[in-house]
Amino acid sequence: MLNLRPSPPQPVTADRGRDELVALWNAAAPEVRTLMLAQVRAWAEVKGRMPRINHRDVPADAAARNG
């Protein structure tokens, strides 16, 4: 069977923008980090680079914050 999924991306540690990414992450407040993770996770799911997350796998506190 032919696999049409893209190959996994290289780890962030190998990317040029690693220092900028770390600086942004360290400067972000906890609620902003949650939003950043959600946006990146959604992008990765749409692009097929990450399997979709089951809502039961989301921590209870995150589900309470997001309604």
Give the tens place of pLDDT for each residue, 9-38: 776 666 677 888 889 999 999 999 999 999
For residue 4, being part of any structural domain is answered with no
In this prediction, residue 32 carries a pLDDT of 93
- Binned at pLDDT 50, 70 and 90, residue 1 comes out as low
For residue 12, being part of any structural domain is answered with no
What is the Cα–Cα distance from 15 to 63, expressed in whole angstroms?
A: 32
For residue 59, being part of any structural domain is answered with yes
When comparing pLDDT for 46 and 10, which is higher? 46
For residue 53, being part of any structural domain is answered with yes
Residue 11 one-letter amino acid: P
Domain extent, residue 22, equals: 18-66
pTM of the predicted model as reported, rounded to 2 decimal places: 0.50
Q: Which of 16, 6, 12 is nearest to 46 (CA)?
A: 6
What is the Cα–Cα distance from 49 to 24, expressed in whole angstroms?
A: 22
> Structurally, how many domains does the chain consist of?
1
For residue 54, being part of any structural domain is answered with yes
